Amino acid sequence: LPPPPPGPLTSNGTKLVYDRNHPWKPLRKGDIRGPCPGLNTLASHGYLPRDGVASPSQIITAVQEGFNMDSGLARFVTYGAHLVDGNLVTDLLSIGGKTKKTGKDAPPPAIIGGLNTHRVFEGDSSMTRGDDFFGDNHSFNQTLFDQFVEYSNRFGGGSYNITVAAELRHRRIQESIASNPEFDFTSPRFFTAFAESTFPYAFFVDGRISNRTSAALDMTNATLFFRDSKFPRDFWRPPAPTGAIGIIEIFSAYPIAPGRNVGAVNTYTPDPTSADFGNFCLLYTNFVNNTVKSLYPDPKGVLRRNLILNLRYFYGGIAGGGCEEIFPYGQI
């Protein structure tokens, strides 16, 4: 049985996380990394299995322990990713590309392709990774990182802060509209894009700096996280459990409706069926009823049981948020 998720940290203050027990190590042949600099870094320091294949429980433990991610957010994001990208029978998820290490696949249309899988979770207009349309949605992209640095210089005095986050988020969306005929900015990508724009100042800044909304990430340390999957020397995690702080400010600087280009560049068309910030519960219901259901239309046996359990753990991340729980595969 997939075990219930680990609870919140009992000791949840800042502490040294680049410690003796978590040395950075270079990749060995076959080790997997992907589009998430947070998980890549945790794997390269041994907070996650260094091969880049982990269970949801291991991921939740690691993001809480290493980055003090809020436990509700950690659950919601981890089970969301696992439901669409992971192997629900073996309880294993690749943090990058598809691999035999996650075990025998369920039949198609299930993908079980790891976090690199486009559209179900990974999406367009990432800050340091290219759009899937251009051929690589997961590797560190130096050209995009140069733009990250340029924006940090222009709007943040050389560091990435909330002001830079708003400007760069807008810039990446405009770039994708103008260059990617398949640009898709509907839910869940609509939410993950704004959330991830907060993560560099929310999580990658040393925890001994206590004012997190004014936190700023310098470019030396940004390079370590985004490119090298490496904590800065003597790195301490945030001082309290942390989520996507400032996400509404970033969205509000340049509000946009969820939508997509419809087969050509500069054809961005709003999609009123997509969830947005005014209708958060629709993120949950559409993800379950559309995305998960399309991958698993008619599961049987252990697969169905594990879908039910993982959907319950997923909902647990937002329980208390006022959304009604749904049971597309019934209840056990």
Q: Which residues bind Mg ion (CB under 5 A)?
A: 122, 126, 129, 137
DSSP state string for 248-273: HHHHHHS---SEE--SSTT--EE-TT
Q: Which of 183, 201, 203, 231 binds ligand HEM (CB under 6 A)?
A: 203
Which of ligand HEM, Mg ion, none sits in contact with 52, Cβ below 5 to 8 A by type? none
Q: Mention every residue, 6+ apart, whose C-beta is less than 8 A from residue 242.
A: 67, 68, 69, 70, 202, 203, 212
- For the sheet containing 269-270, what is the strand order? 184-185, 259-260, 269-270
- Examine residue 33 and tell whether it contacts ligand HEM (CB under 6 A): no
Smallest gap from residue 47 Cβ to ligand HEM (A): 10
DSSP state string for 184-248: EE-TTHHHHHHHHHHHHHHHSS-TT----TT--EEHHHHHHHHHH--PPTT-B--SS-B--TTHH
Q: Interacting stretch for ligand HEM, rule CB under 6 A, among 76-84, 259-267, 269-277, 306-314?
A: 76-84
Q: Which residue is nearest to ligand HEM (CB)?
A: 38
Nearest to 112 by CA among 120, 41, 313, 304: 120
Smallest gap from residue 298 Cβ to ligand HEM (A): 26
Closest CB to ligand HEM among 70 and 276? 70
- Examine residue 53 and tell whether it contacts ligand HEM (CB under 6 A): no
- Examine residue 165 and tell whether it contacts ligand HEM (CB under 6 A): no
Closest CB to ligand HEM among 134 and 327? 134
Total residues binding ligand HEM (CB under 6 A): 26
- Examine residue 38 and tell whether it contacts ligand HEM (CB under 6 A): yes
H/E run at residue 154 = helix 142-156
Determine the Cα–Cα distance for residues 180 and 104; give it in Å rounded to an integer. 34
Closest CB to Mg ion among 78 and 176? 176
Provide Rg for the chain, Cα atoms: 19
- Examine residue 291 and tell whether it contacts ligand HEM (CB under 6 A): no
Mask: binding to ligand HEM, 293-332, rule CB under 6 A, as x and -? ----------------------------------------
Determine the Cα–Cα distance for residues 26 and 28; give it in Å rounded to an integer. 7
Which of ligand HEM, Mg ion, none sits in contact with 203, Cβ below 5 to 8 A by type? ligand HEM
Q: Which of residues 129-158 bind ligand HEM (CB under 6 A)?
A: 129
Mask: binding to ligand HEM, 94-133, rule CB under 6 A, as x and -? ---------------------x-----xxx--xxxx----
- Examine residue 185 and tell whether it contacts ligand HEM (CB under 6 A): no
CB atoms < 10 A from the CB of 45, how many? 23
186 with 258: CB under 8 angstroms?
Answer: yes
DSSP state string for 55-96: -HHHHHHHHHHHH-B-HHHHHHHHHHHHHHHSBTTTTBEESS
Query: 184 phi and psi, to 5 degrees?
Result: -125, 120
Classify residue 6 by its DSSP letter.
Answer: P
Largest Cα–Cα distance in the chain?
56
- Examine residue 69 and tell whether it contacts ligand HEM (CB under 6 A): yes
Closest CB to ligand HEM among 237 and 309? 237
Report the interface residues with ligand HEM, using CB under 6 A.
Answer: 35-39, 59, 63, 67, 69, 74, 77-78, 81, 115, 121-123, 126-129, 192, 196, 199-200, 203
